[in-house]
Chains A and B, each alone.
Chain A
């Protein structure tokens, strides 16, 4: 990610404390007119620094963490003594603090709510009055063509106010996970500052978005849009606790092709999208929507042949925005579909699918990966985070079978009884594993005859060795490896000592 690279390079020079803040009575007014030609010296009264120390796990050595690193961001102060920042910023955080830009005063903080799909997080200071002097930001809803501002902080604590033109509003991919939400695409010549490119986007002094990526070559930036922030904040305030963005759980394809329209039974009109797939047990599935149906309308919003609807504020936008941001988990929405020439209405109860329920988790953040070491043979659960250990080119360099499983998991594991794919990730050579040293990245199918639905089943399977041997069946060559159960137990202390293992398992 480009912003991160910048961030790392800049951290080393970002230690200087902030100087005295300039008192500027007109600060707020200046925020309101980012196009003003006046020098951008502002007192930052609505933003704080969010300083985070992160320490993700090392998925190739799941018993240990990577070296900690620091990131700084600019967070938006919200009503209720809270600060909004991106989820990326607080991912795998071990220590968080808020810092006042002008005085440099710091306060430990905690993450109150985080949603990695929409890339937003709410951070709370441990001292309730820490944010008292600040003026909380309200939410704005900008439109295409608006002149916005991005608020960064100079090292001395003054506000760096950069203009940004909102050129496009569309649904696009967010950095973590597989989700796509409404994005603001901005044209801006942002300068790298120690606070990185994680900063609020404002319109007339009100919060319009959170920057999530900046490309210095094309001078464009993407920001989390106001409707996504609004939805996130509303869900964060829900009494039931935070539930993420709802989805309908179906795939769709444009219906521009007249041959396909006729095949789908459409004789007139120009709207409707073709339902290509329905996720088992998803909202659409439960409502009775089937592949091959033509979706005509969601509630009162007609869906056009490309899958767009007309948003009252943004105009033509993908229907996935309507589902994700204009509705909440548990809401019932009528979907009008055409099936074999007949219009029917399916009442869809929108639901938030928990990404951690995927057979291969799209992200594993803030939690320790599970593992089990058996005499030196390391078992883990396949996750995308594991694949990302192959570096920036992981989509080409990680084991191809695992990449294929991850990319097509919905299709390949439909109806599979497994909750996770247990893998033999590698071998720590020990007297037990002679001849197995080279084995790595194999799918484990059975242990002692027991099919593993997840790593949690491993212990139970190992409790019943067959005639004193553990039989581990893997997909492909060698088919099966065998360990002596008694020898495995006897080797454990030496393994722990040799490899400095804190524990032989984490389940």
Chain B
């Protein structure tokens, strides 16, 4: 983001020239993390999933904690950590994990691990563009510590690939960041300026690596201070720049290049009931909002949502607005993080499903759609417009018939793969739990209606019960459902 760049062009004058930190000091903080992870298989949701071993980096921060990336330790079943100059392997556990910011804090029970270690400290500044940085970690190419250097190339918002649905501030660097670097510190003048976390494969781009900058890291560490990670807060609105003179005039705005239009307000979001479509946002927490959606923050121009990036659960945000030409002050409170997360990758959970008479029902989610390759237009649209068109109101979970395990009880149920469940025996199905309840209710037959399909699926109870053990044995299904979230 340009604003950060400008900010630190000014600060450069005050900074001392780059000072190399002794490698011996860094070694006292670096951690090599080896993880055995089990990634669930959304196509066979009852299977525990194949286990894979991966490795990444981490570093010791104050309070005898190890900071690393969430993706290094996601779905982990076993984590071992090693220090430089200590041959022992220590068992570590995830204490906090933030999948939306790709950060995690690990703990090691054995106090010996921390003997002689030094906690790295963070810079309280965003580094200047073109300044040199060093990346420490354990990337491919060998087993021992690797250091690469480069410069700060760019500072901007970028999608975090781990969840696939979140964007935060990142720092791009020309220092090589390769698989295994993840979670390692990026240092400048002996202080951590970021956590290496993602990059492009060599056939896409060269010398483009990304680190999570200190503001994002600090926000994570502050969020977990109360013992719980509450995730990022979101206004859940869309705004539109107010650049058009006629539109400004009709809204009663002077020609002062201030104010943005509220274009949509997500029902159930933080601003639901606080803001309305058509409101003009004039200030946010006292910062005047320019008509292109930027605010002045710490003396720099930043996109308005940056104000919210710094908020925590329970915080509020105050707007001065114009509603039907009348000035008004409103406050939105962040009660909770946005709950409907089907567009974000899931970790550390087993896929939810119900198997009934060989019919497999699963809620759609990013991971599910990637695995199942269900690609009908209706599912695609509902997934992509889940929030914009507020499908979550009727279907907090969108449950599809994802597959059929062939058995005499379901011989003629074909052609419904990818269809969305609407109701069972006349009861609307909003969640997988609703569905479990509908199937648990005694009935002669279960009439399953799918959206847009005129012909219901009819499953007779007697047949389903007779098939239960047969299907479980034949297809090696230990449990007919997983409802745990």
Interface residues of A (CB under 8 A from B): 251, 253-254, 256-260, 262-263, 274-277, 291, 395, 400-401, 403-404, 407-408, 411, 432-436, 467, 469, 471, 476-484, 487
Contact = CB atoms under 8 A, between A and B. Distances in A.
A159 B217 CA distance: 78
A479 B264 contact: yes
B453 A276 contact: yes
A483 B246 CA distance: 6
Contacts of A408: 377-378, 452
Contacts of B264: 476-477, 479
A200 B378 CA distance: 39
Nearest to A404: B381
Nearest to A435: B243
Contacts of B388: 476
A260 B458 contact: yes
A482 B250 CA distance: 7
Contact of B459 (A259, A395, A476): A259
Contacts, number: 106
Contact of A404 (B378, B411, B453, B454): B378
Contact of B250 (A274, A276, A291, A471): A471
Given A251-B454, A404-B381, A479-B263, 17 more contacts: A254-B412, A260-B455, A260-B457, A263-B447, A400-B381, A401-B385, A407-B378, A432-B246, A434-B243, A436-B244, A476-B238, A476-B388, A478-B240, A480-B278, A482-B250, A484-B245, A484-B246
Nearest to B411: A257
B206 interface: no
Interface string B450-484: 00111111111001000000000000000000000
B472 to A, nearest CB: 21
Given A435-B241, A479-B278, A487-B246, A263 B453 contact: no
Nearest to B243: A435
A481 B240 CA distance: 10
A491 to B, nearest CB: 11
Contacts of A478: 240, 261, 263
B445 A275 contact: no
Contacts of B247: 435, 481-482
Contacts of B238: 476-477
B138 to A, nearest CB: 41
B454 A253 contact: yes
7 contacts: A291-B454, A400-B380, A403-B377, A404-B381, A435-B247, A469-B249, A469-B250
B159 interface: no
B412 A479 contact: no
B147 interface: no
A257 B458 contact: yes
Nearest to B377: A407
B343 to A, nearest CB: 14
Interface string B241-263: 11111110111000000000111
How many residues of B sit at the interface, in one of the four size bands?
Answer: 35 or more
Nearest to B388: A476
B261 A479 contact: yes
Interface of B: 238-247, 249-251, 261-264, 277-278, 377-378, 380-381, 384-385, 388, 411-413, 445, 447, 452-460, 463
Contacts of A471: 250
Nearest to A436: B244
Nearest to B380: A400
B246 A482 contact: yes
Given A400-B380, A476-B264, A476-B388, A260 B412 contact: yes
Given A467-B250, A484-B249, A275 B454 contact: yes
Contacts of A259: 412, 445, 458-460, 463
A227 B246 CA distance: 61
Which of A254, A403, A404 has the most chain B CB atoms inside 10 A of its CB? A404
Contacts of B261: 478-480
A411 B454 CA distance: 11
Nearest to A466: B250
Given A434-B244, A479-B263, A274 B455 contact: yes
Nearest to B291: A435
A469 B245 CA distance: 11
Contacts of A275: 454
- For B245, B247, B264, B463, the residue with the greatest tally of chain A CB atoms inside 10 Å of its CB is B247
Contacts of A481: 244, 247
Contacts of A435: 241-244, 247
A278 B380 CA distance: 26
Contacts of B454: 251, 253, 274-277, 291
A254 B249 CA distance: 61
B456 A263 contact: yes
A482 B263 contact: no
Nearest to A275: B454
Closest 4 CB pairs of A and B: A276-B454, A477-B263, A435-B243, A257-B412
A182 to B, nearest CB: 23
B291 to A, nearest CB: 8
Contacts of B413: 257
Contacts of B263: 476-479
Nearest to A432: B246
Contacts of B411: 257
Contacts of A256: 412
Nearest to A467: B250
Contacts of A291: 454
Contacts of B377: 395, 400, 403-404, 407-408
Contacts of B457: 260
Nearest to B242: A435
Contact of A400 (B384, B447, B452): B384
A24 to B, nearest CB: 53
Contact of A469 (B239, B246, B453, B463): B246
A471 B246 CA distance: 10
Nearest to B384: A400
